[in-house]
Amino acid sequence: MNKNDLAGVVAERADITKSQASDAVDAVFDAITSALKSGDDVRLVGFGTFAVSRRKATKGRNPATGAEIDIPASNQAKFKPGKGLKDAIN
**Confidence class of residue 82 from pLDDT cuts 50, 70 and 90?**
very high
Same domain, yes or no: 28 and 46: no
CA dist., res. 82 & res. 90, Å (int): 12
Domain extent at residue 51: 41-90
pLDDT at 59: 94
Residue 78: which CATH number? 4.10.520.10
Instruction: Say if pTM beats, i.e. exceeds, 0.75.
Output: yes
- Number of folded domains that form the chain: 2
Same domain, yes or no: 52 and 32: no
Could you read off the pLDDT of 33-54 as tens digits, one per residue?
Answer: 999 999 999 999 999 999 999 9
Same domain, yes or no: 47 and 88: yes
> Can you state the angle between helices 18-37 and 3-14, rounded to 10 degrees?
120
